[in-house]
Each structure stands twice: as C-alpha cells, then as structure tokens.
Amino acid sequence: MIQRFHLWLPSSRISDAQAKCPTSFSLSSRDKLKFVEHSDQRVELTVSAADCLFCRIIKSEIPAELIHRDDQCVVIADINPQAPTHLLVIPVEHIESLDEASQKDEALLGHLLRVAARVANGAGLADSGYRTVINTGAGAGQSVFHLHVHVLGGRSLSWPPG
C-alpha cells in the first residue's frame, strides 16, 4: 500500500515562497520517515526500500556475487570482506533491522539462520567454525539499513568482537 504525505519545511530555514509549497513523497507500508535533530534545525530523512542497496541487489539492479537465492532470501559475497569467507544472508522483504522485525517475521528469521548454516557448510567452514552476526543500529556497525546476517569464517575469530 502506498501512502502520500506532504512535508512542510520549517519557515525559519527557507524563503516565504518555499514555505508555502509542500514537498510531496510516497511511502510504502514498510518505509519509514525519520527525523534527526541537528543543532537547532530539524532535518528530515526518508528511508525508502526503493533506494535501499540490498533491495536493488535483490532486484538485480546492482550486480553482486550471488551465492544462493530462494523465495525468502539471497546470499551474496560481501564486497568488503572481514574474513576469507564473508557472506551476507539478506531477506527479500525489506526489514530495516532486527528491531523492526515483528512476530510475523519469526519464521523468516529462523530461515535466515538455517540458510547461513547451509552456505557456511557449503563454503567448507564446518570443521574450522564460523560466526554469524546481525548488527542492529549504526552504533553496532550496521551500515546498510536492511536486516542481514553476516557469515564469517576461514580464519581464527577473536572474542570479544570489535
């Protein structure tokens, strides 16, 4: 479902003519409108599944090294690997982070972990071990705000991470 919103920009930051003109945009049911406080001005940011890097990879708009695909997720090689094997298990449905997942997503979350195990074993990591990681939020290292599971292996992984 697409909803239409109108934004009125703060008049203290723009001309009178601009203040009288709303900015329109559309959001789907999974998109979010967020606000971030920046000094004394309020800055509007939109998060759109249409602009999401992983959504664009899933739609084959951006090339990636595809390891696995099914109806619920894709697995790609990370373009900035932190281990000899670094794969990303990404749900097809745009979910911003683990915090945004709901009870209806429980089966999907289990599927992502089972696929992570399968691709790790397929990459020969069963004997040496591997790590699965879900970063949630910028402070935890999430840089693409589309839920994904990192699968890392092929070297000794220290603890604690980071």
User: Which residues are known to be catalytic?
Assistant: 148
Across 65-88, b (16+ Cβ under 10 Å) vs e yields: eebeeeeebbbbebeeeebebbbb
Give, in order, the Cα–Cα distances in Å from 54 to each of 43, 74, 75: 25, 10, 11
Q: Is 114 helix (H, G, I), strand (E, B) or coil?
A: helix
Structural tokens at position 133 = 């990681």
The answer to whether 64 and 57 have CB atoms below 8 angstroms apart is yes
- The one-character DSSP state at 123 is T
- Taking the C-alpha atoms of residue 75 and residue 128, their distance in angstroms, rounded to an integer, is 21
Dist. CA 3–CA 9, nearest whole Å = 19
